[in-house]
Amino acid sequence: MFYPRIEESIQEFQARGFCVSYGDLRKEIHAVAVPMRAMGDGEILVFNCGIPSFMLSEGQLIKDVGPRLVSMVRRHEAAIGCAAVAIQSTALV
């Protein structure tokens, strides 16, 4: 059921550094997610920002919220010295 959407999200992440949800789990909530690079112990954290759909303008998630969330996560990574993360679709199979 969700597999095609997961593959699409991986492609979005590889292209933009974040992925979006337009009501995938709750139709009234749209969201952006950005993974933080792997910590020293290999754990990967994900930051997300969910917004009621009626509060968003067309393209705002991709043009504004997503890039801002990526910037915030990268600043946190730099502050704590995280390693690079590689996310591959085969990891989900």
pLDDT digit of tens for each residue in the chain (93 aa)?
Answer: 667 888 888 898 999 999 999 988 899 999 999 999 777 777 888 999 999 999 999 999 999 999 999 999 999 988 888 755 444 444 443
Cβ–Cβ < 8 Å for 47, 33: yes
**Structural domain span for residue 61:** 3-92
33 in helix, strand or coil?
A: strand
* CATH at 30: 3.30.450.40
φ, ψ of residue 3 to 5 degrees: the values are -55, -50
pLDDT score recorded for residue 83? 58
Number of domains, the chain: 1
Residues paired with residue 22 on neighbouring β-strands, in sequence order:
30
d(CA 63, CA 61): 6
d(CA 43, CA 60): 30
